[in-house]
Amino acid sequence: MKDEGNDMKTWVRNNFSLAEWLVGGIVTTLAVLAWVFGTGSSGTLSLLKIFPVFGLVAFGLMWSHYTVGTLRRWSGYERRGKDIYWAVSAGLVLALIILHPVLLNISLVEAGLGLPTSSYFAAYGNVDGWFVVLGTIALLVFLLFELHRWFKHKKWWKWIEYAQIVAMTAIFVHGTWLGNETTNSWYTVVWWGLALTLLFTWVYNWRYDKAHLPRR
Amino acid sequence: MERRNSKTIWIIATVVVAALLGVVAYVLTMNRQTASTTTTNTTQQKTTEQQPEAPAADATQGSQAVTITFTDEGFATKNYTVSAGKEVKVENNSSMQLQFSSDDHPTHTEETELNLAVLAPGESASFTPTKVGAWSFHDHLHDQYTGVLTVTE
């Protein structure tokens, strides 16, 4: 059993780039398939039918960042040079998390429901509207992470990283409450699987940091 | 080496973002075309109405009034066909509230004639579609429940 674990670690170490592209590729494919056979296949294609898939893929790719990071630590892989997967998927996530609400808001404005946040309540009602607002707050927190280029060495930066975890949780709640694929298709199992593994990676990384990093 | 990697990343990222924007532009264009086709259909219908001397062959064709039944498992049937001007009755036979609405969720602007007020369990309501086309609908309160109403001339 221990040998099998070591074999796996060695394989991941030797094929790390392949492993991260596989993880990202699989999670993206599952999200797209769930949408294609769900919202994407009902009625005429429109921005309101397209925008959910951007959210699904973005969540999956952000999940892959946590998972790949955990795999790296677990396998002891040391990177030489730039991580193309991380750079490409991070750029894609940024585009997707911006497009997801932008497409929704364009549709709501076109439908004469006005601007957010009142348009959210007009379209989704008094309860669901709050879950759209929750997604918007999480988006702002995700965008804050983009400041890491300038501030990641600051002492307070760890709070932005903690906020990302809260935002991921908020997005999970947002998607579970409002999403169609996340609650009414085979993707529900994948969705909850992503949440559980995400929780596992947070616990693993918290324990890893405690054991290996000096106190910040 | 690092510079080459950077270049590759930028090329891939640009292609991906361009592809995404392409999809959005394509959908916007398709929607505009659909909207213009719908307008044409409506105009043709109005023209037909303004010419009573034209043979009213299709008045006797097409489906009679239909009833769309909503249960706890969703709409009893996914596809319905009705002639323009015939009544469509929506029955809520489920144990939950129903808000029968035209697509898209949540704006309901595809064909506003389909939009009804909230129906309590056991309640029903009717509307009379006049615009020819295949109109997707859903329950606004449980948007996973969907169907298509085809309105013929």
Express each pLDDT in A119-171 by its tens digit: 999 999 999 999 999 999 999 999 999 898 899 999 999 999 999 999 999 99
Chain B's closest residue to A87, CA to CA, is B9
Distance from CA of B111 to the nearest CA of A (A): 12
Q: Where do the structural domains in chain B lie, given as residue ranges?
A: 1-43, 63-152
Predicted local distance difference test score (pLDDT) of residue B28: 60
The pLDDT of B54-80, averaged and rounded, is 74
Is the pLDDT confidence value at B47 over 60?
A: no
Q: Give which of A24, A32, A48, A55 is closest to A170, Cα–Cα.
A: A55
B98 SS3 class: strand
Each residue's pLDDT tens digit, A37-90 = 988 887 788 999 999 999 999 999 999 999 999 999 999 998 777 889 999 999
Task: State how far the Cα of B30 lies from the Cα of A61, in Å rounded to an integer.
Answer: 29
Locate A157 and state its tokens.
């930066």
Partner residue opposite A81 with nearest CB, options B2, B28, B143: B2
At B37 the pLDDT is 43
Provide the pLDDT for residue B131.
Answer: 95
Q: Which residue of B has its CA nearest to A103?
A: B24
**Residue B3: pLDDT band by 50, 70, 90 thresholds?**
low
**pTM for the model:** 0.79
Write down the pLDDT at residue B52. 39
What pLDDT is recorded for position B63? Answer: 62
Distance, in Å, from the CA atom of B91 to the CA atom of A90, rounded to the nearest integer, reads 48
Residue B48 scores a pLDDT above 50? no
d(CA B35, CA A154): 53
**Hey, what are B46's tokens?**
């109005």
Q: H or E stretch including B70? A: strand B66-71
Element (H, E) at B45: helix B2-50
Contacts of A95 in chain B (CB under 8 A): 16-17, 20
| Cα within 13 Å of Cα(A136), Cβ side | 15
Please say if the pLDDT value at position B34 is more than 70: no
pLDDT at A100: 97
Which residues are within 8 A (CB) of A4 and not within 5 positions of it... i.e. 6 or more apart? Answer: none
**Element at B145 (helix H, strand E):** strand B142-152
Mean pLDDT of all residues in B6-24: 69
pLDDT at B30: 58
* Cα A197 to Cα B109: distance, rounded to the nearest angstrom: 39
- Percent of chain A scored above 90 by pLDDT? 81
CATH topology of domain B63-152: Immunoglobulin-like (2.60.40)
**Under an 8 A CB cutoff, do A81 and B5 touch?**
yes
Cβ contacts (< 8 Å) between A81 and chain B: which residues? 1-2, 5
Higher pLDDT, B44 or A180: A180
Task: Say if residues A82 and B9 touch (Cβ distance below 8 Å).
Answer: yes
Confidence of residue B53 (pLDDT cuts 50, 70, 90): very low
